[in-house]
Structure 1
């Protein structure tokens, strides 16, 4: 009885009120758990002659139900984190956010050892944790207990192709997964191949992020093969990789089956005009697409023409980013001719290209159709003052425009186009953001 009284005293003083705050606001958990455990150890050493960690675990079952836990503590020791996980052992957790805790492979192993206790878990975030291949291997061995898991985030870790292979081997138990983020790792082509062999098992996957992973053409090729089976996918991010024209050609064949896809990001790859032509043939079937980012590639005028020829079929496309692509006047003219496309756009980015006055004038002629456009970026081109004047006339016909970036163009000689543009726009209506720095 003495032991129970001591324990209840600790519960009332250190658990009851803080845990109410944690359950709703979740900011103090990393400080509360070590503090409670230290208090329990002190009391137990005086009155109880058995494992205090086990007593601590059991004491939580009588305190309250906690369904969501979020922790931020980058100074965990392996021992403390293991104790913390043991403390969660009997909670009916559905949401566990452990991002930015620097738990490493040892922490991932501690978590995996208790994973069978988290059979109700639907959300697990382990991003930004320095988890490597060994940690993922330990974690993957226990995926059989995560039958209800919907959201898994392992981004910003140190997972290589071996870790990707281990994860793939456990995917058969995660058939209900809808969100998978492996971005900012280093799985490369070999890891992508291993994942692709098992991704088809996740029938309801809707969100897949493999950006920043050194994936090349071979990886894109095997992904293309499995894409035809991923009909539920709505978000695909393959940006910041090394995918070139041959990889895009294979990938595009699979993309043509994704009629539910809403967001596609292929920016920061090695796509040139031939790859853009293949991509155009693939995206024409993606009738649900509303966000397309192909920036930081090298598609040029021919690539812009190939995309424009097919993009008119995308009736829901509202966001188009073609910046950093070596597109000149010819590409801008072709894009502007696709009236059904420009009339639907809300966001258009053509910055860091090679547009001159001719392309700017042709684009301005179609601005009367851009009734929904709110964001326009034409910065870092070679548009002169005559092109700026024509653009200004066209912009008067865009009623919803709120963001305009026209900085770093060729407005230094002759009459100052920037001043003309700024003055006329100021007279007509006020933009929430305008950048005209030359």
Structure 2
């Protein structure tokens, strides 16, 4: 630029604009120019996508190490399903520790980080300079061993992490218990936790209930779908949900082996004062009319503020009654994949003229 020769920069800008950087083998000087072009771009540095730069010519780890200055400057780094290994986690930890770092969202899902990788970059999460708010770790081959490091990061002072996705990892009950120790710490400010397909059973629910009762509890959204909680696990979880310290608003329990027996505890939660629950997903469980009647009884309670309900079952009469209740806060109802028949749909349709009917979305 000083010599007035911008040909190299124009060449790299062309690669970036055309989206062909990952198809070209760049020299060391071209990599330097690429970093300069990305850091001086007039576009807002919102999302960095590693996939745009990884190709047959160069592997993910090598690209990531070269572009660390760029990652540090972006608000969101999408490194998912790129072939990143645990070897790069030390470098990622250095980005999280750097001051200043603009990084607030990090997605490394679908990479073989394992426990060793999680331990490495958790050291960055614990650093006071780290301002990361959202972390996605789906399909990362993490077990209970890696949860200990993450729990330590959640206890760090201050902890800025607000969202954590550990779905499709083999955490098990022991991993969940360690994670809950972090959740209970006053320094932890986590608001959203996703734990789908994590091999959790009723044993882990006791620890989770304890975390929901902690003071203060910041958790607002919890997804435990496709875990074998059963009715016993749900009952333990409900003990935490009923506690005044619990502020949970969204609970997803799809395919958790819940039956009508578990609905007794859930109905009790819906009647509790105050009840903060606004969204409940019970799809793909073994519910029948008796269970839904119990839930409907909870919906009719003045303390219930539930706005979204997803269920899979076979009847509508109890729900129709609940929708006529005063006050009814329900705004969204999902009855997909059910055997309602015409008579069931008619029961729901006949209440539309009721003055207390507030439903806005029906699936």
State the TM-score bracket (shorter-chain normalisation): 0.7 to 0.9
Q: Counterpart in 1 of 2:221?
A: 235
CA distance in 1, matches of 2:196, 2:331: 25
Give 5+ residue unaligned stretches, structure 1. Answer: 22-26, 42-52, 378-438
**2:222 alignment partner, SS class:** strand
CA distance in 2, matches of 1:62, 1:347: 44
Q: Counterpart in 1 of 2:97?
A: 116
In structure 2, which of residues 250, 269, 273 is the aligned counterpart of residue 282 of structure 1?
269
For the pair 1:348 / 2:330, whether they are aligned, the reply is: no
Q: Counterpart in 1 of 2:65?
A: 83
Q: Counterpart in 2 of 1:391?
A: none
Query: Quick check: 1:318–1:347 contact (8 Å CA) kept in 2?
Result: yes
In structure 2, which of residues 140, 144, 167 is the aligned counterpart of residue 183 of structure 1?
167
In structure 2, which of residues 287, 290, 300 is the aligned counterpart of residue 299 of structure 1?
287
For the pair 1:142 / 2:124, whether they are aligned, the reply is: yes
- From the superposition, tell whether residues 36 and 356 of structure 1 become closer, same or farther in structure 2 (CA, over 3 Å): closer
CA distance in 2, matches of 1:260, 1:62: 41
Query: Quick check: 1:78–1:107 contact (8 Å CA) kept in 2?
Result: no
Q: How does 1:18-167 map to 2 (within 5 A)?
A: 28=19, 32=21, 37-38=26-27, 40=29, 63=40, 67-73=45-51, 75=55, 77=59, 80-88=62-70, 91-117=72-98, 119-120=100-101, 121-145=103-127, 147-167=130-150
CA distance in 2, matches of 1:56, 1:351: 53
Query: Quick check: 2:333–2:362 contact (8 Å CA) kept in 1?
Result: yes
For the pair 1:319 / 2:303, whether they are aligned, the reply is: no
- 1:385-417 Cα deviation digits (max 9, x unpaired): xxxxxxxxxxxxxxxxxxxxxxxxxxxxxxxxx
Instruction: Tell me which protein shows more helix as a share of its residues.
Output: 1
Structure 1 length normalisation: TM-score? 0.67
How far the C-alpha of 1:306 sits from its partner, in A, is 1.9
- From the superposition, tell whether residues 226 and 343 of structure 1 become closer, same or farther in structure 2 (CA, over 3 Å): closer
How many residues align? The count is 348
- From the superposition, tell whether residues 314 and 103 of structure 1 become closer, same or farther in structure 2 (CA, over 3 Å): farther
Q: Counterpart in 1 of 2:258?
A: 271
How far the C-alpha of 1:82 sits from its partner, in A, is 4.6
CA distance in 1, matches of 2:25, 2:33: 9
CA distance in 1, matches of 2:237, 2:351: 33
CA distance in 2, matches of 1:279, 1:344: 17
Structure 2 length normalisation: TM-score? 0.79
Relative contact order (C-alpha < 8 Å, sep 6+): which is higher?
Answer: 2
In structure 2, which of residues 172, 184, 189 is the aligned counterpart of residue 204 of structure 1?
189
How far the C-alpha of 1:375 sits from its partner, in A, is 4.1
**1:232 alignment partner, SS class:** coil
**2:88 alignment partner, SS class:** helix
